[in-house]
């Protein structure tokens, strides 16, 4: 058996084309959506992410504002910038690239962003709304996974769904999205006993651990849909997922590749949230 490869690049092209049309219409009506991206420090990987976001914005006609602050930037300076961006009517979405340097509180920074502009969906107001079932924004990576899942025609309703990883940005919100669609959801993490027994139950398996090739063929139920969020840089410079793609693809019904799976969809969902934010403001 060979799995359906869930191509996030191709799906992104389609969704970004739709967003481009929406943005053109909004511009005609006098509003161009704007996204501000703030990076503190000069981590090379973060710089690449920030530049990719800029390129993606340009593709669909969203105005992009970039702020590169020095590693030594004081917390107050960053918080002041966020206040400025909160009050700037040409900025509809604000994203602060994580991780931040140790001397800056991520919590404080996230909570200082106007929830209406929190296109990452990290603010407690927005995560709360997600939990209670009335979200304004969906968190980008889990939302991207749900879009890829739609391609398979497999609906979570009544299915065993296992999410490996419980971070606030991927694992936990992913579990909520699957639950919203009536999946029977298990969240596994580093303290889970007999992980293989748990993952093997999954009709839909989502993996966000951060360890290359962590999920092997013997941990996957034949016929499962496998969504691999992991992005791990190997010694040879290549990017690898958390799933042993080469072997798992032979037993899965559908699987996301890395790169070219969840990654591009995360940015696409960010663009979608920015357009939504602009419409709402």
Does position 257 bind ligand NDP by CB under 6 A? Answer: no
Instruction: In whole angstroms, give the CA distance from residue 211 to residue 106.
Output: 24
Neighbours of 153 (CB within 10 A): 10
For residue 165, give the nearest of 214, 217, 233 by alpha carbon. Answer: 214
Whether residue 102 lies in the annotated active site:
no
* Among positions 164, 177, 270, 277, the unique one binding ligand NDP when judged by CB under 6 A: 164
Please tell me the count of residues contacting ligand NDP according to CB under 6 A: 24
Q: What is the DSSP string of 236-269?
A: TS-EE-SB-HHHHTTT-SEE--SSSSHHHHHHHH
DSSP structure class, residue 215: B
Q: Which of 63, 97, 244, 249 is catalytic?
A: 97
Whether residue 53 lies in the annotated active site:
yes
Does position 12 bind ligand NDP by CB under 6 A? Answer: no
The one segment of 64-72, 109-117, 167-175, 273-281 that binds ligand NDP by CB under 6 A: 167-175
Whether residue 97 lies in the annotated active site:
yes
Which residue number, 232 or 281, has a Cβ lying nearer to ligand NDP?
232
For residue 205, give the nearest of 185, 184, 227, 190 by alpha carbon. Answer: 227
- The interface with ligand NDP within residues 114-153 (CB under 6 A) comprises 141
- The interface with ligand NDP within residues 179-238 (CB under 6 A) comprises 188-192, 195, 208-210, 229-232
For residue 175, give the nearest of 161, 189, 155 by alpha carbon. Answer: 161
Q: Which of 53, 116, 117, 172 is catalytic?
A: 53
**63, 57 in Cβ contact below 8 A?**
yes
Least Å from the CB of residue 250 to ligand NDP: 23
Least Å from the CB of residue 277 to ligand NDP: 19
Least Å from the CB of residue 101 to ligand NDP: 17
For residue 224, give the nearest of 192, 247, 252, 250 by alpha carbon. Answer: 252
Instruction: In whole angstroms, give the CA distance from residue 10 to residue 29.
Output: 29
Q: What are the catalytic residues? A: 53, 97, 120
Binding site for ligand NDP (CB under 6 A): 141, 164-167, 169-171, 188-192, 195, 208-210, 229-232, 262-263, 266
């Amino acid at each position: 058996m060979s799995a359906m490869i869930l191509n996030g690049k191709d799906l992104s092209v389609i969704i970004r084309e739709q967003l481009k049309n929406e943005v053109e219409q909004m511009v005609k009506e006098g509003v161009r959506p704007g996204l501000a991206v703030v990076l503190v420090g000069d981590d090379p990987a973060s710089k690449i992410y920030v530049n990719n976001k800029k390129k993606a914005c340009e593709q669909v006609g969203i105005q992009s504002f970039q702020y590169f602050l020095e590693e030594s930037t004081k917390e107050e300076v960053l918080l002041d910038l966020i206040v400025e961006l909160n009050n700037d009517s040409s900025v509809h979405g604000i994203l602060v690239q994580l991780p931040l340097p140790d001397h800056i509180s991520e919590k404080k920074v996230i909570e200082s962003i106007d929830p209406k502009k929190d296109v990452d969906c990290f603010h407690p107001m927005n995560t709360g709304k997600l939990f209670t079932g009335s979200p304004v924004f969906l968190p980008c990576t889990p939302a991207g996974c749900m879009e890829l899942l739609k391609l398979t025609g497999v609906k979570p309703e009544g299915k065993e769904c296992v999410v490996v990883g419980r971070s606030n940005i991927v694992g936990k919100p992913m579990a909520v999205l699957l639950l919203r669609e009536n999946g029977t959801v298990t969240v596994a993490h580093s303290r889970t006993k007999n992980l293989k027994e748990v993952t093997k139950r999954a009709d839909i398996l989502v993996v966000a651990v951060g360890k290359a090739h962590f999920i092997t063929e013997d941990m996957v139920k034949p016929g499962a849909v496998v969504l691999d969020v992991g992005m791990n840089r190997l010694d040879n410079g290549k990017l690898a997922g958390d799933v042993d793609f080469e072997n798992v693809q032979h037993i899965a019904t559908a699987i996301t590749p890395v790169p070219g799976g969840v990654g591009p969809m995360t940015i696409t969902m960010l663009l979608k949230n920015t357009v939504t934010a602009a419409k709402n403001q």
